[in-house]
Copies of this chain bind each other. A is one copy, B any other.
């Protein structure tokens, strides 16, 4: 699923600028399951516009560059619906932190601790962020997705809190052995 399709999807939530779409990916509802930067969003919106799948309206602003607000056209909606008839690809997860934990025996104990703490903090933040959202007025299927994210973050945080000893077991043994 390319960024163009994702942009069409984002625009079903209402008209938005490229800047605002980016925020949906980094903080908003899309954050759990996809990510995209300016470098892919702006060109994608440009192409969609050329193809007539989205419309664009410029809003003048003082000082800043004109804000370009995009909106889904009927053609764009049809195109999106077409994409949604595909079989979804398998989920893809890339976690450098988990790779590092897997190879923890080759790491410096102090650095490992730092990475672990950072990773846990990150998931705690994510969880807090989702928990602070208001569910009122959000349609059920979007709540389903939100809940999925919440369940995942919760599982990650709980697991890490309860099982960190597995990661630091050897180090602790080594330390205990040395200090004895």
Contact = CB atoms under 8 A, between A and B. Distances in A.
A86 to B, nearest CB: 8
Contact of A88 (B84, B96, B139): B96
B84 A106 contact: yes
Contacts of A94: 1, 33-35, 91-93
A140 interface: yes
Contacts of A166: 140-141, 143-144, 147
Interface string A1-37: 1000010010010000000000000000110111100
A151 interface: yes
Interface in A79-99: 80-81, 84-99
